[in-house]
């Protein structure tokens, strides 16, 4: 059987090897070092923010971002329900209560009207809302043009979860530059990777300094180890930062390749009734991290689950869109404002192999398998 085609495997090669080897030979093996400093500067410049703190994961960036914004036990933090668990987990780490906001159907991102409704109701109840965490889903920025004015009107800071959207823009402004701070991820399946890792981005120098302090075990500037509060071991290593620097030089070409893959699916499904590219009507500013389709089984005559089973039999990975957080057992009973869109997208959406490391032969295998499936059912 052919090797399994994965959804988004790391895209690394000789350039990454050279950067990594140079860092290794420099002697900066321990955490921090010149590649961390350079990586922070380069990402901040790319995104257009003043400060960046390289961290062990995007989750760490979310956690420290929330802490530096003053989120504390008993507070409420509004966030998107259609997201990976890390978003909600980071809120839980602070002792705050995640409050889930449903999606706009076209994008899957936080519905600004529902956000405003939730804020209005919570204010009337006297509930403290300490932050809003919109999520940029699958490489498409949330509608910050509407979200930020709403947040400002209620006096609530925004921490953007841009883990999936590095390289994307919203009305020409880079993802990762919105709100009081943003969190990005360099996990192994992301648009670019440092194996594991993430970064907190902000224009606020004091906030960035606080994040760096907390991420290095909150060590005081003393000759001995002095600690006056709880800290975390959250900094990115110098070796992984070197890998990230190489990846950053290739970000645009990797996005271009992912768009080519998405466009191949767009062409393939153009004449298939009941199937559309998720977010595809308005994706010019997306980074095309993942390509998903939405299937209306009543029109198509088959479901996303049927297609997934066929692809799995051909040794091709696929998966549904994120299961909404309000449906996750760990967050059962959490408050939410819902319109049913996230659940509909979970039922009908399927994400296909999308990585920039996919070869033309692999893309051909995927499209041939889909054509075989669709042809059998026509």
Query: Which is more confidently placed, 218 or 358?
Result: 358
Q: For residue 372, is pLDDT > 80?
A: yes
Task: Determine the pLDDT at residue 19.
Answer: 97
Contact between residue 135 and residue 83 where contact means Cβ atoms under 8 Å apart: yes
Q: Cα–Cα distance between 368 and 374 in angstroms, integer?
A: 10
Q: For residue 58, is pLDDT > 80?
A: yes
Query: Which is more confidently placed, 176 or 377?
Result: 176
pLDDT digit string, tens, across residues 213-268:
999 999 998 889 999 999 999 999 999 999 999 999 999 999 999 999 999 999 99
Query: Which is more confidently placed, 333 or 31?
Result: 333
Q: For residue 378, is pLDDT > 60?
A: no
Length of the chain: 378
Contact between residue 75 and residue 126 where contact means Cβ atoms under 8 Å apart: no
Backbone angles phi, psi at 273, to 5 degrees: -60, 140
104-118: average pLDDT: 98
Task: Determine the pLDDT at residue 377.
Answer: 58
What is the pTM for the complete model shown? Answer: 0.96
Chain centroid to CA 155: how far? Answer: 25
Q: Cα–Cα distance between 235 and 37 in angstroms, integer?
A: 12
201-217: average pLDDT: 97
Map out the domains of the chain with their CATH numbers.
14-249 (3.40.640.10), 252-377 (3.90.1150.10)
204-213: average pLDDT: 97
Neighbours of 64 (CB within 10 A): 29
Q: For residue 269, is pLDDT > 90?
A: yes
Contact between residue 322 and residue 329 where contact means Cβ atoms under 8 Å apart: no
92-115: average pLDDT: 98
Band of residue 31 on the pLDDT scale cut at 50, 70, 90: confident
Task: Determine the pLDDT at residue 1.
Answer: 65
HSE, side-chain direction, 13 A CA sphere, residue 120: 8
Task: Determine the pLDDT at residue 246.
Answer: 98
């Amino acid at each position: 059987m052919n090797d399994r085609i994965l959804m988004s495997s790391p895209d690394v090669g000789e350039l990454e090897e050279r950067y990594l080897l140079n860092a290794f030979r420099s002697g900066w093996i321990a955490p921090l070092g010149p590649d961390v400093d350079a990586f922070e500067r380069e990402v901040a410049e790319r995104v257009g923010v003043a400060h960046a703190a390289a961290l062990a994961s995007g989750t760490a960036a979310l956690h420290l971002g929330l802490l530096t914004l003053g989120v504390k036990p008993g507070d409420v933090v509004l966030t998107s329900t259609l997201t990976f668990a890390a978003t909600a987990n980071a809120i839980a780490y602070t002792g705050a209560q995640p409050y889930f906001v449903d999606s706009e159907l076209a994008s899957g991102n936080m519905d600004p009207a529902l956000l405003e409704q939730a804020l209005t109701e919570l204010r009337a109840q006297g509930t403290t809302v300490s932050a809003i965490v919109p999520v940029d889903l699958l490489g498409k920025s949330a509608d910050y043009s509407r979200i930020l004015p709403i947040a400002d009107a209620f006096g609530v800071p925004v921490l953007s979860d841009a883990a999936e959207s590095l390289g994307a823009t919203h009305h020409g402004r880079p993802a990762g530059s919105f709100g009081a701070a943003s969190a990005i991820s360099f996990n192994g399946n992301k648009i670019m990777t440092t194996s594991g890792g993430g970064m907190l981005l902000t224009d606020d120098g004091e906030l960035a300094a606080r994040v760096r302090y907390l991420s290095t075990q909150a060590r005081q500037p003393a000759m001995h180890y002095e600690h006056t509060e709880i800290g975390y071991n959250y900094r990115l290593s110098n070796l992984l930062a070197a890998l990230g620097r190489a990846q950053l030089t290739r970000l645009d070409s990797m996005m271009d390749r992912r768009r080519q893959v998405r466009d191949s699916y767009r062409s393939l499904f153009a004449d298939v009734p009941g199937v559309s590219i998720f977010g595809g009507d308005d994706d010019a500013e997306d980074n095309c991290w993942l390509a998903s389709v939405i299937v209306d089984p009543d029109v198509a005559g088959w479901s996303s689950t049927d297609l997934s089973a066929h692809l799995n039999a051909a040794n091709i990975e696929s998966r549904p869109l994120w299961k909404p957080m309000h449906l996750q057992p760990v967050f059962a009973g959490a408050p939410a404002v819902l319109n049913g869109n996230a659940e509909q997208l979970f039922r009908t959406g399927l994400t296909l192999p999308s990585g920039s490391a996919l070869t033309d032969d692999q893309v051909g295998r995927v499209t041939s398998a889909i054509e075989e499936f669709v042809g059998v059912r026509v």
